[in-house]
Amino acid sequence: MGQATALDISAATAELVARILAEHPQAQIVPRREPYADEDISLDVRLPLTMDEIYRVRERIDEHVIELQEKYGVIIQASAVPAQ
């Protein structure tokens, strides 16, 4: 992927957050303090769900991530994790 602009990053972040909250209004979406690699967007999606449910949500988030990476040319790392 090419160099993402700040506008691409903000648009992709806003769209990803909106999609996640539309499907899981109870989600708490937080930025990771340290990204795993060189991603432009790095988020944890905290949910009060069982691990089986978390795994299903991760698959759905991955679908959104793939679509938005292609649409905006950004690198996104987002994953559902159990609420703490």
Task: Report the greatest alpha carbon distance in the chain.
Answer: 37
Note the pLDDT tens digit of each residue in 9-66: 999 999 999 999 999 999 999 999 887 788 999 999 999 999 999 999 999 999 999 9
Going along the chain from its start, the domains and CATH numbers come out as 6-82 (3.30.70)
Angstrom distance (rounded) from CA 68 to CA 65: 5
CA trace torsion 26, 32, 35, 36 (10° rounding): -60
Contact call for residues 46 and 84 (beta carbons, < 8 A): yes
Res 84: pLDDT? 79
Threshold 0.85, pTM exceeds: yes
User: DSSP letters along 69-80, please?
Assistant: HHHH---EEEEE
Residue 1 has pLDDT above 70, yes or no: no
- In order of 29, 51, 52, 53, the CA distances from 47 in angstroms are 9, 10, 12, 9
DSSP 3: P
